[in-house]
Amino acid sequence: MLSARAWTQSIIAAGSGRSKSVQTRDLARAISNSSNASRRSIRKLLLPLLKMASCSEVLVADSVGCWRSGGELFFLPRFIFQRTLTAKPRIEVGIFGGIDGNDLGGIRGITEFLCALNAHPAIGREYRLWLYPLCDPLGYVNHARAIGSNLYPGTEIWKDSDEPVAQLIEKELCERRFDGVISLRGNSQATQLQAGVSGQDLDFGTSALIAAQEALRVNQRADFAGFSVRKLDPQESIHACSGQSHKRFEIALEVPGRFPPSLQGEFFLVSLHAILAAYRRRSSEGQRAS
């Protein structure tokens, strides 16, 4: 297995002729262009993010692990955010996108959120964030889901799967013992925004989505008018099956698949900001009450 440093450097070196500056439009172009190609390029998708992380004071890029499929080498990319080097307890949250490799909105949402965290680190204060923008790289390359079912893309996780990417995600969830897990998904069957939330956090999920809608631009609010919040179905969960009772929350955000990836990504971006702000307030209030 390549080391995280070697993996990052190999992809950066391949695009070393380009500027090291990263703009959100570069990421959008990489995603939109790749959707028209016969095979999507992971290098083209990740290169702007890796360059940004290599120059960042708050982001680190590496890989959870790698495997071969059809003679090609695939990776599960990971980005870690921490605002300062101060040693103190932090809220540990894992954010997962691209569980269906053909779901470009979730990938777009995490890439834009990474840019926002790098430019405005205060968004993530009190957190250590572990972000996985491409959980199904094989499916992304081939324009077809490689793990899970049509209804529940993550169902290979915690099912004794022999899929390498499912095993890597399981290992990561066990080792990190996150305080919270957020997954971003497009849903072709959804007619409005949906959020599956761990049972005890329904009110928390509702307030976060209301805040996210208010943060949208005025001309976008009509597109995202109305939403539903429900108890998370066990088949939707990528974390509850681990049997770790310490888990504090899990939210699966879903956007109607009829929306273009750019619009899905924008909603995911403001939703992540709203969820982290709401949970930070809740944690602070809990500490004051104890």
Whether residue 157 is predicted with pLDDT greater than 90 in this model: the reply is: no
CB 11 within 8 A of CB 46: yes
188 compared with 24, residue with greater pLDDT? 188
What pLDDT is attached to residue 123? 94
194 compared with 200, residue with greater pLDDT? 194
Whether residue 245 is predicted with pLDDT greater than 60 in this model: the reply is: no
- Residue 279 tokens read as 């949970």
- Residue 94 tokens read as 């894992």
Pair type for strands 249-256 and 227-231: unpaired
Pick the CATH number of 58-289 from 1.10.8.50, 3.40.50.2300, 3.30.70.1350, 3.40.630.10: 3.40.630.10
- Residues 93, 275, 184: CA angle, nearest 5 degrees: 70
pLDDT in tens, 9-56: 444 444 444 433 444 455 555 454 545 557 889 999 999 999 999 999
Whether residue 7 is predicted with pLDDT greater than 50 in this model: the reply is: no
Q: Which of these, 34, 42, 37, 39, lies nearest to 74 by C-alpha position?
A: 42
> Which helix or strand (DSSP H or E) is residue 65 part of?
strand 59-69
Task: Calculate the average pLDDT of the chain.
Answer: 79
Task: Report in angstroms the alpha-carbon separations of 59 from 52, 79, 93.
Answer: 8, 7, 15
- Alpha helices per DSSP H over the chain: 4-14, 24-34, 42-54, 104-119, 137-142, 164-176, 202-215, 218-221, 261-289
Residue with tokens 């205060």: 122
Phi, psi angle pair for 269, to nearest 5°: -60, -50
> Which helix or strand (DSSP H or E) is residue 257 part of?
none
User: Which phi-psi region, left, alpha or beta, contains residue 57 (left: φ > 0; alpha: ψ -120 to 50)?
Assistant: alpha
Domain ranges of the chain: 58-289
DSSP letters of 112-132? HHHHHHHH-GGGGTTEEEEEE
Instruction: Sheet with 91-96: list strands edge to edge.
Output: 59-69, 72-82, 127-132, 91-96, 180-187, 249-256, 193-197, 227-231
